[in-house]
Amino acid sequence: MPMSSAEIHAEATDITANARKRYAAGVLKYRQMGYWQPDYAPTETDTICLFRITPQEGVDPVEAAAAVAGESSTATWTVVWTDRLTACDSYRAKAYKVEPVPG
């Protein structure tokens, strides 16, 4: 059944509100932006990078790993109108495993 004009308007309003919230001033955690994916299973075509990270005091190791993934890939991109046309997920690095290292 086709949507009514009121339903179309409500859906468009929701999409606009979500976009505004996503790009509002403030700080979004890297894990919220999709750089932390604990269930990710690497494929044979993935490039795997291993980093040793020492987070600052009070910084969660998972958030630090997600930040490294973000800043080494798409988190440094400038937000422009063409973002909706870019396959960002194809280029986004993914942190998926954090293990403590002694010493």
Q: Given this model, what pLDDT does residue 44 score?
A: 94
Q: pLDDT tier at 4 (50, 70, 90 boundaries)? A: confident
Asked whether the CA dihedral 4, 9, 14, 19 is positive or negative, the reply is positive
Q: Where is pLDDT greater, at 29 or 98?
A: 98
Q: Given this model, what pLDDT does residue 2 score?
A: 78
pLDDT of 13 over the 90 cut? no
Q: Given this model, what pLDDT does residue 99 score?
A: 93
Round to whole Å and give the CA distance between 28 and 24: 9
Q: Given this model, what pLDDT does residue 22 score?
A: 63
Smallest CA-to-CA distance from 95 within 60, 69, 58 is with: 69
Round to whole Å and give the CA distance between 51 and 25: 30
Q: What is the pLDDT of residues 40-94, one digit of tens each?
A: 999 999 999 999 999 989 999 999 999 999 888 877 666 655 556 566 777 788 9
Whole-angstrom CA distances from 12 to 3, 39, 58 are 12, 32, 40
Round to whole Å and give the CA distance between 53 and 17: 36
